Structure 1
Amino acid sequence: MGSETRVFTLSQVSEHNHSKDCWLIIGGKVYNVTKFLEDHPGGDEVLLSATGKDATDDFEDVGHSSSARAMMDELYVGEIDTSTIPSKTKYTPPKQPHYNQDKTSEFIIKLLQFLVPLIILGVAVGIRFYTKSSA
């Protein structure tokens, strides 16, 4: 008689979220890491903070040893119902304002309103120096 695999929902796993009862989801499998909390090299806070979500990425990012992976077999309690895990939202950049052709002409007008008086002033100063130096 083979033992039947238990399947848990994310909310069921999330209830096991403290130092006396801590479960994690890694690679679609549910692990009861309660007895390992004190021995975890990264500290128990790391494990406790990973409850209530899929901790696969956190686990893989750290780069656990093969002995750590083998130890997980002893902590295995079942599978996660993946339909209960919210799908990861992909990063979508904020919408950029649509390029408005009309704004370009507004910018040119403002630029000209600034530059034209400067050009007139420059020409006037140039004429003044030119007429003074030739007299």
Structure 2
Amino acid sequence: MSAPQYEADNIFAKILRGEIPCHAIYEDEHTLSFMDIMPQSEGHCLVIPKVPSRNLLDADPTTFMWLMPTVQKIARAAKRAFHAHGVQIVQFNEAPAGQTVFHLHFHVIPVYEGTELKLHAREAQDGGHLAHNAELIREALKFNS
């Protein structure tokens, strides 16, 4: 069975091309981070590579040398910004595993003791609230070293 091909019309590819807006947090030459519009917790955001990759299974291994430092940077900032007790990093590969957007991405999900996560990809959050949360993480990034 051959692996599915990357589809250039996925929502994250459209975000990268500027066709769809996002609540951006951080961007560099290789990566982009933005708020998840259907967060599982306060501060839930995403980190994606700019290079087309369907998921971890087809990505060029060199993609991760740029991607993982950004995941770490965003995780630290989100934890700080939302006074989270921990951070869950989640990455799905193919639909049976829970992948709903077929562009490689990492979920950065602040977690709080005694608070259960919402279900994945279920309920959209207000854009104003997402914009505010993005600003909180951008401010926390100023303290990352």
Query: TM-score, structure 2 length as denominator?
Result: 0.24
**Which of the pair is proportionally richer in helix?**
1
Higher-RCO chain (CA-CA 8 Å, sequence separation at least 6): 2
Query: TM-score, structure 1 length as denominator?
Result: 0.25
